[in-house]
Amino acid sequence: MHKFILRRLLLLIPVMLGVSFIIFLMLYLVPGDPARLVLGDHATPEAIAQLRGEMGLDDPLWLQYGRWLWNLVVHQDLGTSFRGNRSVSAEIMARLPATMQLAGLSILVAILIGIPVGIISAIKQYSIFDNVSMFFVLLGVSMPNFWQGLLLVFFFALVMNGLLPSSGWDSFSHMILPTITLATGPAVNIARMTRSSMLEVIRQDYIRTARAKGQIEGVVTLKHALKNALIPIITAIGLQFGNLLGGAVLTETIFSVPGIGRLMVDAIRERDYPMVQGTVLFIALMFSVVNLIVDILYTYADPRVKSKHE
């Protein structure tokens, strides 16, 4: 198992190198002069040329990327923001707690809703509960989270006269609307995956044998069926949590949550390339780490997975 984890960690190196180069190349090819953006439209050509030289923008692509990569690997430095001369690494670390809180609360709500709904829908297949829940699953999958966020802001902030705050991240009440908005998509996907996986498991012979032995239905469902249906569910949860880290971009912007997603949107708007590159690379790293944790959880959910890595 230790060799498996080490191998996966080593595989992160070429993945992150590839992601970093693609991001660097895309930003390099984006139209616009960062030096002019920093100095403004009324800057003289001499001032722009001087700043370009100080920023290293006149160097070839390979040299700029090599210098940036050297600073990242050796000094753990993602560079300095064009706007405000801020450290990209420090700014990301300052915004990380809000994003992690939002993503953590959202995936928790999604699990608490999605798994029970999926289990009940599988046990009561084609019942009224199953049909209604699958209708809401289809509705949740079809509705973009930014549209849902705007509807929640309109209803609770305007129609309900400010029953819940529509912006900020200062108290628990501020967390409710962003969490609901971000949790809806993962909840319906987890419910759909749980239902599908449970339907496949509850038709197996060992489930009928457990019932024939006289075990109560709750034990059969939770101990035998759910335990053997966990692999696809864990996969869905892991992927949804990884998506939450990136999907929080629009939600954080709508509700003015001071997280990494909003930081990235502001950086894109201001053409702050070092900040854009740092935030995208950090989100990619977090997504890769989440996938590694999911692979490790497989071994605890199904011992057969562990035996394959030993």
Q: Put residue 84 in one of left, alpha, beta given phi > 0 → left and psi -120 to 50 → alpha.
A: left
Give me the count of residues in the chain.
Answer: 310
Model confidence pLDDT, tens digit, residues 113-141: 999 999 999 888 889 998 898 888 888 87
CA distance 35 to 46: 11
Model confidence pLDDT, tens digit, residues 149-188: 888 888 887 888 878 888 888 888 888 999 998 888 889 8
The model's pTM is 0.81
CATH code, 96-309: 1.10.3720.10
Q: Please give the single-letter amino acid code of residue 252.
A: E
pLDDT computed for residue 162 by the predictor: 77
Q: How far apart are the first and last CA of the chain?
A: 6
- Residue 309, judged by CB atoms within 10 A of its CB (0-12, 13-18, 19+), counts as middle
Domain limits, the chain: 19-75, 96-309
Model confidence pLDDT, tens digit, residues 215-240: 787 778 877 788 788 888 888 888 88
